[in-house]
Amino acid sequence: NAGVMQNPRHLVRRRGQEARLRCSPMKGHSHVYWYRQLPEEGLKFMVYLQKENIIDESGMPKERFSAEFPKEGPSILRIQQVVRGDSAAYFCASSPPRDGTIKQYFGPGTRLTVT
Amino acid sequence: KQEVTQIPAALSVPEGENLVLNCSFTDSAIYNLQWFRQDPGKGLTSLLLIQSSQREQTSGRLNASLDKSSGRSTLYIAASQPGDSATYLCAAPFILGGSNYKLTFGKGTLLTVNP
């Protein structure tokens, strides 16, 4: 069973461009979480999705950021009109449905650099 | 709202020393607590997960304890090695409702083990 996959691993964008980050959860996992790690800061929750539903997006910036987890395919975190402050490591995690241990499995992350 | 604090922020020890990393959390209604390791520029490696019904969990030279009533967890590393050098993160779940939750991370303890 392959782990959580994220691509690309490194992404460079110029200010004003769009960034699309992809996350493929582990097989059988229907819950996806996105976290952001800004330089010198801890990991912060952004959004929690189940298939075709956003469950909680309390950590998402109000503008420019959106996330989806379609019925088929990976989860996408989309950042429009990127700014330098968006430079960070973005981690995706997944968990199985109604898992009694409530454990999240993390991907390797996408490191976004905005120039 | 769950808040997680880790002390110390950084720790430098000579090889072979036993050490303790501390984590405190404000909301004691947790299902579990998870410890992770993060190497520079890398993703998260799950080390130990302690269920709320457990008091401790062991894996090799690592031992994690959990005291829900006082809102504390400790990670004990025995006979430290230079390869243990990394940032150690603890994470507590914040319950959103039902079985839905998100993880709240501490800022981590940066451990350096000197040969």
Alpha carbons B62 and B34: distance in angstroms, whole number: 13
Q: Report DSSP state, residue B49.
A: E
Q: Is the pLDDT of residue B38 over 90?
A: yes
Hey, are the CB atoms on B100 and A48 less than 8 Å from each other?
A: yes
| Residue keyed to tokens 């709320």 | B52
Q: What is the mean pLDDT of residues A17-38?
A: 94
pLDDT at A112 over 80: yes
Q: In DSSP terms, which residues pair with B66 in a beta bridge?
A: B73
Q: Do A113 and A11 form a contact (C-beta atoms < 8 A)?
A: yes
Nearest CA to CA, how far is A91 from chain B (Å)?
A: 8
Closest CA to A19 of A39, A34, A4, A33: A34
- pLDDT (tens digit per residue) in A58-92: 999 999 999 999 999 999 999 999 999 999 999 99
Q: Which of A50, A98, A102, A106 to mutate to test the interface with B (most CBs of B within 10 A)?
A: A102
Confidence at residue B51, expressed as pLDDT on a 0 to 100 scale: 87
User: 3-class SS at A13?
Assistant: strand
Looking at every residue in chain A, the average pLDDT score rounds to 92
Instruction: Give the whole-angstrom CA distance, residue A88 versus residue A62.
Output: 17
Residue A98 burial by Cβ neighbours in a 10 Å radius (0-12, 13-18, 19+):
exposed
Rounded to whole angstroms, the Cα distance separating B47 from A103 reads 12
pLDDT (tens digit, 9 = 90+) per residue, B5-34? 999 999 999 999 999 999 999 988 787 899
Greater pLDDT, B35 or B2? B35
DSSP class of residue A26? P
Q: What is the pLDDT of residues A31-59, one digit of tens each?
A: 999 999 998 788 999 999 998 999 999 99
